[in-house]
């Protein structure tokens, strides 16, 4: 991809799991090869453990990942959905303007890319048109651009003053955006609620907004440009989808298939980060560190090596006692240091 396009993913407590599922699917759609650049904008209510899981999954799907957390919303406005969303969008615009200076695409957690080259196609389409914004333009009496679209690098200068109220930001910013926006069919708004709805996906779309149930990911597990995985469809439904998209059905109707998750790969990645960090600690720091219990055997090997190098004068009995010292286990503890995206303002 010649043109750079920053993908911005907002995540709150109520849609953090959707965001993780989206990143999981992007990883699979990219044939497990990192593609593109991602900015994760977390709301202050998103738990740290889920933030870590999002980052680790994102690092497997994208070439570079940057994280930032939006400022806490005033207490009196925390129950306002649109104020929360505006706050995330405003912070994303400021971060993109300060650290990237690239066009950026707002990708919500219930979106789903439906083509492996979705980033490249959006970037190329934006570069080919002359305006500041590109998205799905409504035909309402008061037109606006739908949320998931492309925004020019320094949009914050123009839009920031409109993002501090309760009005949804597409409406609040419409007077500035619409005169400077181009329409695109690459983004489609479609509520995917049943497998039959998949047949309504436009052949022009590369991103669909409205897949809260993960239907597309469940039914298109295989390489999208070659096959369709119709695990949850009937043979007739699968045949229709394959014909519509010019693809081949890859399902083995005699053997039920299950979506292949990347949980093990994520877990292995976290373990490596944790062990790498542990290996840099001193003996005293090791004793104070809470580590996952399943890493105990590997940690003891590291500890033994450190004892041999750092404390050669200890007797074998003393070494044995230190090595057998019980650990404080914490099963849900994950590493938060040492990852390439852990610095908030880092640029790819």
pLDDT at 313: 57
% of residues, the chain, pLDDT over 70: 60
pLDDT in tens, 8-34: 999 998 899 999 999 999 998 888 889
The encoded tokens of residue 25 equal 């699917």
- Whose tokens are 């007077």? That residue is 175
- Whose tokens are 């789903």? That residue is 112
If you classify domain 6-189 with CATH, what class do you get? Answer: alpha beta
pTM: 0.65
Please state the domain extents for the chain.
6-189, 263-323
Q: Distance between CA 283 and CA 309 in Å, rounded?
A: 11
Eight-state DSSP code of residue 127:
H
pLDDT in tens, 153-194: 999 999 988 887 778 889 989 999 999 999 999 999 999 998
pLDDT in tens, 230-282: 555 555 666 566 555 555 554 443 443 333 344 445 455 556 666 666 666 66
In the chain the beta strands, taken as DSSP E runs, fall at: 6-11, 37-42, 64-69, 104-106, 111-113, 133-135, 150-151, 181-183, 187-189, 207-209, 227-228, 248-249
Q: What is the CA radius of gyration of the chain?
A: 24
User: Of 9, 68, 15, 70, which is closest to residue 36 (Cα–Cα)?
Assistant: 9
């Amino acid at each position: 991809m010649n043109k750079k396009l920053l993908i911005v993913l907002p995540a709150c407590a109520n849609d953090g799991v959707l965001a993780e599922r989206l990143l999981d699917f992007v990883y699979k759609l990219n044939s497990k090869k990192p593609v593109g650049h991602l900015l994760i904008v977390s709301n202050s209510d998103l738990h740290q453990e889920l933030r870590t899981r999002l980052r680790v999954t994102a690092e497997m799907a994208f070439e570079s990942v940057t994280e930032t957390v939006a400022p806490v919303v005033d207490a009196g406005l925390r129950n306002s959905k649109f104020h929360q969303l505006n706050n995330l969008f405003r912070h994303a615009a400021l971060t993109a303007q300060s650290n990237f200076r690239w066009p950026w695409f707002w990708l919500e957690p219930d979106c789903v890319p439906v083509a492996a080259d979705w980033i490249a196609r959006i970037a190329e389409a934006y570069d080919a048109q002359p305006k500041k914004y590109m998205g799905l333009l409504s035909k309402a009496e008061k037109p606006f651009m739908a949320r998931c679209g492309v925004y020019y690098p320094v949009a914050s200068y123009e839009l920031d003053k409109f993002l501090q109220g309760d009005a949804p930001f597409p409406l609040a910013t419409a007077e500035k955006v619409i005169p400077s926006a181009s329409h695109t069919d690459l983004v489609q708004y479609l509520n995917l609620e049943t497998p039959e709805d998949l047949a309504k996906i436009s052949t022009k779309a590369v991103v669909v907004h409205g897949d809260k149930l993960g239907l597309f990911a469940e039914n298109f597990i295989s390489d999208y440009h070659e096959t369709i995985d119709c695990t949850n469809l009937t043979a007739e439904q699968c045949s229709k989808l394959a014909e519509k998209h010019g693809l081949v059905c890859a399902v083995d109707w005699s053997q039920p298939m299950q979506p292949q998750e990347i949980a093990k790969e994520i877990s292995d990645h976290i373990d490596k980060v944790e062990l790498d960090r542990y290996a840099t600690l001193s003996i005293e720091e090791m004793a104070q560190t809470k580590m996952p219990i399943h890493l105990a055997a590997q940690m003891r090997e590291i500890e033994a090596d450190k004892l041999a190098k750092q404390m050669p004068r200890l007797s074998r009995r003393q070494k044995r006692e230190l090595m057998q010292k019980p650990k404080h286990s914490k099963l849900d503890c994950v590493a938060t240091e040492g990852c390439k995206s852990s610095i908030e303002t880092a640029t790819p």
